[in-house]
Every structure is written in C-alpha cells, then in structure tokens.
Structure 1
Amino acid sequence: MESRVIIHLDMNAFFASVEQQANPELRGKPIAVVGAAHRTVITTASYEARAFGVKTGMAIWEGKRACPELIIVRGDNKKYTSTSRQIIAILWEYTPLVEVFSIDEAFMDVTNSRALFGPAETIAYQIKARIRHQFGLTCSIGIAPNKLLAKLASDLQKPDGLTVIPPDRVGEVLERMPVGGLCGVGKKLQKQLLLYCNVRTCGELGRCDGELLVKRFGSIGSELKRMGQGIDDRPVVPVEEEEQVKSVGHSMTLPRDIDDREQILKRLLQLSEMVGRRARKHGLAGKTVSVSVRLGDFYSNVQKQTSLPNHINLSDDIYRTAVGLFDGMKIDQPIRLVGISLSNLRAGEDSQPSLFGGTSRKEHLTAAMDALNNRLGGFTVTFGSLLDAGEPGSQVISPAWRPKGVRNVFFQNT
C-alpha cells in the first residue's frame, strides 16, 4: 500500500511577521506582539527579538530585560485571521484535505494531488513562493508519511525551511531525535521519560517496553511508544468534518489583582456578554456554566460549575448563574484572572425563554444590542453598570481558532 504524503505548514513568527509587513518601520527590528499594553505576555516575537532570547510566554518586562530595544506591538486579531484565511484558501487550491491546526499551522494530505501538481516538494515550493509573493511572509514546511512526522519535519529548519522525511528514512531520523521534537511531548513529560524510563530520544522511546510505559503513564503509554516509532494513523480532517465545538468560553487577566466584589462582578458581566453574544451568533445554547479564577499567587486556581434545567444563551442568565458560582467559591486572596464558559451545548438556539423569567422584550433588546455591537464592534452598546469598566482587554487568539464556525471567534484575553 502506497504511503500517504502529508504536508505540514508552519508560518514563521506569524503575528510579528504580519505586523512587520503592515508597518515597514518595524522590519528588521526586534518586536514582540502582545495582547494588551499592560500586564500581559508576549504571544509572538520576531526573529530579530528571538536572537536576544525573547520567547513566547515571557512577560513584557522579561522581554525588555532580554532585549532593551524591544518594540512592543499590540496585536490585531482581524489582521491575523484575515491573512490566515487567505493562506488557507491557497492551500485549498491544491487539495480539499486541509486541516487547520491553529491560526498559523495547517496539515495537507497531497497523496492524490501529485497527479495534478507534481511531487510534494513541488507543491511545497509553489505554496512558499505564493505566500512570500502575496503576503511577504515565510513559512517552514515538513513533508512526511503522516501528521506526526510532518510536523516534526517542519520544526527542523526554521525559518523558511523545507524538510522531507521519506518513509525509508523514518527510523534513521528518529533514532537520535530528542523526544521533545514530538508534538505533545513537553518539558515535564521529557523529564518523566528520562527519570522513569531513561529515555532521551525517539528511537529509545520506540524500543521502550510498552508495559512499562503504560504502567508509568497510563493509557497514553502505548501511544507514546507508537510516537517513538513514528506511527500515526490520524487522517487529515478538513474543517467541515471536525467534531462540533464542545464549549464557548472567554477569560481575562485583570489589569491588577482585585479583591473588590463589585469590580469582579463587572468583569463577570463583561465575560457573560462576550460568551452569550458569541453563542447567540452561532445559534448555540448551553446547560452548563463554569466559572474559573486564578489567584494572585499565579499558581492557585479555583473552578466551579453547575448544570441547569434549560439551555441558555442570554447574557443576563449566564451572568446570574456565574455570580452564584462565584459566591460559592472559597477565595482567600485577590484574583488575577477570571473566566466563564458555556458547555453542554445544543444548536439551533437563536433565542430561548429566559431561565429567570425573561420576557420577549428582553430577548428583543438583546438581539438589538448584538446587531449593533457586531456591526460597530466591541461594547458599543452595553449594560449601564459597565459604562466605567472599560474594554475587557485585548483578545489573544486561542489555539482552538478555526476559519469557520464558532471556533473562528474563540478568544482568550490576557
């Protein structure tokens, strides 16, 4: 049976590169894209900044310490999603089997596309040339027999690389490859594999005793062994064939640690409106509301949820439920982050009777607010109690982003 041919495309420093192309004054300079101007983390750093040790996830002050000349740029989600959609449209010209892994990554199954467009390498070079010509951006591409290896290959030459792992060289490539090169094997798991199994490389992982891996790591143990052997049977799943989204959620890091209940309730109301508006936009309603908070020590988290008798998507209903959950939490220090999610979803819920006795007038007002805010943006029309609350913070695109459906607007504020 002929091996599949999978391409993994990874845009290089995507957010930062888009900003540099949009503003010529930023080109060639160390920049960091952040979600907000205060108390946030770096989402992407340009390669000029990375040369100084600036990394994704650093606080702004850490980035500035590593690179005093670092230029901070506030992110523009519309710019990134628009560019990503156009890039995905290019990929669709070569195959309908395109899986959007994140806003700056995608898999393509080009097994059957080669009859039309030539070898996978030819397709990859064409895509790289078109993206560079149309957007001024570079990408790294990996080509391999499956998704696991294609993603590993794209990481081997950055930026602007093209790496091919043919089927007959899989064992050779994996033999000395650190296990951290495998997607999903983070630093914590690397340490555990070394400590419990004396495993450092993919080759060693593939030869490791399967029973030992299962004993140490549970159900993922057998999958780890398969990964070490380069085995991955997962198909490339186009957006329209993905599973239905399971939840709609927003969270925000607060400008400062807050212990004042009135101020926290304002944030809960903002989040409830953001969650509700997005659920209504996509005709979704949920029965389970969850509230999560991160405390001022940064490490402590408290979460509470409840399931309701009816499906809801009106902001007021979500808010009232969230307040009840928040008041039931035991919190002994100021709050750094707060989030709300709506799950146990059902589609076809453009409107529904309010759980708390709402009237059609309330539903009509909600629909009018949604229409205005969707057209004008943000919280143009909002609740009176939020007039002095300000915007809820810059929105950073989640890895759950997809070019269609509710995932398209799944944001996390930081």
Structure 2
Amino acid sequence: MHIDMNAFFASVEQQANPELRGKPIAVIGAAKRTVVTTCSYEARAFGVRTGMNSWEAQKMCPQLIFVVGNNRKYTWTSTQIIGIMREFTPQVEVFSIDEAFLDVTGSRALFGPPEEIARQIKQRIRERFGLTCSVGVAPNKLLAKLASDMQKPDGLTVIRPEEVATVLERVPIKDLCGIGPKLQKQLTTLGIRSCGDLGRFPVPILKRKFGVVGEKLHYMGLGEDDSPVVPEEEADEVKTVGHSTTLDKDLSDRGEILKIMLQLSEMVGRRARRYGVAGKTITVTVRYPDFTTFSRQESRASATNSSEEIYQDAVRILDGIELEQPVRLLGVRLSKLSQQGEQLSLLEQDRKKALLAGAMDQVNDRFGEFSVTFGTLVGTASGAKVISPAWRPEGLRNVDVE
C-alpha cells in the first residue's frame, strides 16, 4: 500500500492552531522572497497551488493566511506517523516526509485483509494527530501510488489484480509515477495518452525511441512493477552528503556568499562525521535568478569530513567560476564516500582540529545546530530552510532542520 498524508504541512499547522482550522492557509518559508510550500484544501479551492509565489497566491485568495513553516514540527510528526505504520509491518519504505510504501503481505494473519489494515492505520493517525491520509492498496508499488491519488483527501482505494486492465484503460499517462511533463509530451506525439494506449503500443518502437526505458514504459502501461518495498536498513548505501539553500535575497557580495558556503560546509561535514564517512569529491552548485543552474566539482587526494577542508575546497571551486549574475541558490555536496576509521592523525595540528570538531559536534548534538559555530557565522541564520526530498527519519539521509 501507499500512504500519502493530505496537505501535510498545512494540516499539521491547522491541528497545532485550532484558529486555522477550516480556513485557507499557505505554508511558506521565513524569507521575504518565498513560495507556497503547501496549502490547505480550503486554499486549493481558490486555485492556490504549491510552488506559487506568495503574492500570486494572495491575489487568487485575498483571505489567505500565510504561516511560516516549522520544519522540526513536520519531521517530528512524520517520524511518529512512520512509527504507527511500523506497528503493522516492518516493511516500510519512506518515500518522502509525507508518504511511504508498506508491504503488508506478511501482516494479514495478524491484522486482517489489506483494506482493514489501511483503515486501522488511518484511524490511528486521525485519533493521535487529527490528520487524514489517502491510501492506495494494490498488487505493487506503481499501482498503489496511483490508487492513493484517486480519492483525496482521506481516501481509500483498492485496485485488485483482476481490475488492473479495466482501471488503467482510461488513466492518463501523466498519473503514473515516473512519467513527467517532458516524457508525457514525447509519448503524446506517438499518440499515447492513456495507460491502455501505452500497454498496447509496439515495444520495438518504444525501445527505439527511449532505449532500455522503452520496455519499462510498456510494463508500466500494463500496471506491472516488480520493485520491492525497501526499508531504510536494507536501502543501498548513500553515495553523497549535501546541503543547498535558496538565499533570502540574490547575492553578489563575495563575503556574504562565503558565509553561506561556510555554513553549508559545516552542515555537510557534521553529517558526514556523525555517520563515520568521508568523501573525496566536493561539488558546488550555483543557481542564478533566471534559474540557470550549474555544478562544478573537484576531487581530493584523500577523503575528508572536515568542515574546514570542505569549505576550503568549495571556495577554490567557487573562485574558478566567473559569476555572470547574482546568486540565488548555493549548494555544497560531498561524494565518493567511504567509511572513516576512528584513529586520529599522527600530526598534532590535524589531531587538534579533529578533536575540536568532535567537541563542537557534541555541544550541537545536545543544544541544537550551530549552538557553537565559527566566529564568522555568529548572527547568521542557520539550519536547512527546506526539507530535502531525500529526507529520512534515520540514517545518513536524516537532515537536521530548523
């Protein structure tokens, strides 16, 4: 089954503040320049949508109430909801902060048929948090996600094996997870508009047009998917650690840009140290106000998880870029990861740096991110402003948020 929380951030805010219930609200960032992260169903009735500029949303719904997002609140609530899911099966794959896949094949003897399991999960989430979710139950992940979108909010849709062909016949291809606007446009030029069309279309032509993906598209049109539900502990090893942030305002001043780079480097280094990994490749990502985005990277001779070394390499990369416009977004990523042994360096200077970083980490673990930080960052807003799509409740993908 696929469980998708309904208007998650907005619903959490409405439950936390009863005065917001039943009213059109939009969750936004704290920055002056911001977009709608998500909005309540009351706001959606006016045409407000995720990704809109705040001024555009206000124009569509003059009575819209803006609420500054509280990422800690959302990650905590998500973690608790995932705990409820795990009461029914250990096979839980967190897909994002507000949705997950569950394999309940082995749970039926204890909790009954899948529809009953779905109802029990929905009831527990509602009783504990006052939140609703839409659930899709189907033979595989592809169809379960499709089913969860069919009845929103607070829906429960079951697609049984014998119903697959009938259900898919008229479903638009854009409703399938994995088919975005660009791919949809390419398929439409071939006369493929529904899943039924896709399943019947000659496979050789699909393979000629899309390569190896062509055959996968054929099976998607038939509603076939053999990908398993993968719990966190069975997931593939994470290959990168990175952070990026959209700036409160476009920056041209090198000193201000370097402060952001140092902040991001510390966040990357801290996560790498927490999970005992180090990396050899540093990547810097830049986005301009016109949304032109590009990345540059360099590889080191030896792996590191030192925030200072990550920062120094990132600055060197940035200095090699001729910035043609002010900067809207910055990102720093550490990749080519390997497990790092706990043995300290034989060089006294390096030992002192490692011990200092460890001491800072211990303080920040206890009192919160950036409680102790570099002098140049004192007074600088800290923490991840946006929850990464790769967020997970534990492991290396777990991003501390403010």
TM range (shorter): over 0.9
CA RMSD of aligned residues (A): 1.9
Compared with structure 1, are the counterparts of its residues 358 and 56 closer, same or farther at alpha carbon in structure 2 (3 Å cutoff)? farther
Q: Is residue 199–residue 220 contact of structure 2 (8 Å, CA) maintained in 1?
A: yes
- CA distance in 1 between counterparts of 2:17 and 2:72 reads 16
Q: CA deviation at 1:352?
A: 5.8
- After TM superposition, which residue ranges in structure 1, 4 or more long, deviate above 4 angstroms? 349-355
Q: Is residue 176–residue 202 contact of structure 1 (8 Å, CA) maintained in 2?
A: yes
Structure 2 unaligned runs (5+)? none
- Structure-2 residue corresponding to 1:20: 14
What secondary structure does 1:407 align onto?
coil
Q: CA deviation at 1:208?
A: 1.1
Q: Is residue 49–residue 70 contact of structure 1 (8 Å, CA) maintained in 2?
A: yes
| Equivalent of residue 209 in structure 2, options 204, 216, 232 | 216
- Structure-2 residue corresponding to 1:4: none
Q: Is residue 280–residue 351 contact of structure 1 (8 Å, CA) maintained in 2?
A: no
Aligned length: 402
Q: Is residue 312–residue 352 contact of structure 1 (8 Å, CA) maintained in 2?
A: no
Q: Is residue 37–residue 74 contact of structure 1 (8 Å, CA) maintained in 2?
A: no
- CA distance in 2 between counterparts of 1:353 and 1:248 reads 23
Do structure 1's residue 397 and structure 2's residue 391 form an aligned pair? no
Identical pairs, percent? 61
The 5 A counterparts of 1:73-88 are 73-88=67-82
Structure 1 unaligned runs (5+)? 1-6
- CA distance in 2 between counterparts of 1:232 and 1:352 reads 48
- Structure-1 residue corresponding to 2:329: 337
Q: Is residue 111–residue 117 contact of structure 2 (8 Å, CA) maintained in 1?
A: yes
Q: CA deviation at 1:296?
A: 2.2
Q: Is residue 245–residue 386 contact of structure 2 (8 Å, CA) maintained in 1?
A: no
Q: Is residue 290–residue 341 contact of structure 1 (8 Å, CA) maintained in 2?
A: yes
The 5 A counterparts of 1:31-42 are 31-42=25-36
- Structure-1 residue corresponding to 2:314: 322
Do structure 1's residue 409 and structure 2's residue 399 form an aligned pair? yes
The 5 A counterparts of 1:101-180 are 101-180=95-174
Q: Is residue 379–residue 391 contact of structure 1 (8 Å, CA) maintained in 2?
A: no
Q: Is residue 252–residue 393 contact of structure 1 (8 Å, CA) maintained in 2?
A: no
Letter in 1 for 2:9: F
What secondary structure does 2:58 align onto?
helix
> Which deviations, in whole Å up to 9, do the C-alpha atoms of 1:348-389 show, x marking residues without a partner?
45576599x95222222212222222222232222122225x
TM-score, normalization by structure 1: 0.93
- Structure-2 residue corresponding to 1:301: 293
What secondary structure does 1:333 align onto?
coil
Q: CA deviation at 1:347?
A: 2.1
> Which deviations, in whole Å up to 9, do the C-alpha atoms of 1:236-294 show, x marking residues without a partner?
11111001111111111112111221211111111111111111112121111000100
Q: Is residue 351–residue 363 contact of structure 1 (8 Å, CA) maintained in 2?
A: no
Do structure 1's residue 245 and structure 2's residue 235 form an aligned pair? no
Do structure 1's residue 364 and structure 2's residue 355 form an aligned pair? yes
Shifted more, 304-313 versus 71-80: the winner is 71-80
What secondary structure does 2:105 align onto?
coil
Q: Is residue 344–residue 351 contact of structure 2 (8 Å, CA) maintained in 1?
A: no
- Structure-2 residue corresponding to 1:3: none
Q: Whose relative contact order is higher, 1 or 2, with alpha carbons under 8 Å and at least 6 apart?
A: 1
- CA distance in 1 between counterparts of 2:280 and 2:90 reads 35
- CA distance in 2 between counterparts of 1:51 and 1:31 reads 11
- CA distance in 2 between counterparts of 1:330 and 1:205 reads 46
Q: CA deviation at 1:186?
A: 1.5
- Structure-2 residue corresponding to 1:374: 365
| Equivalent of residue 192 in structure 2, options 192, 196, 199 | 199
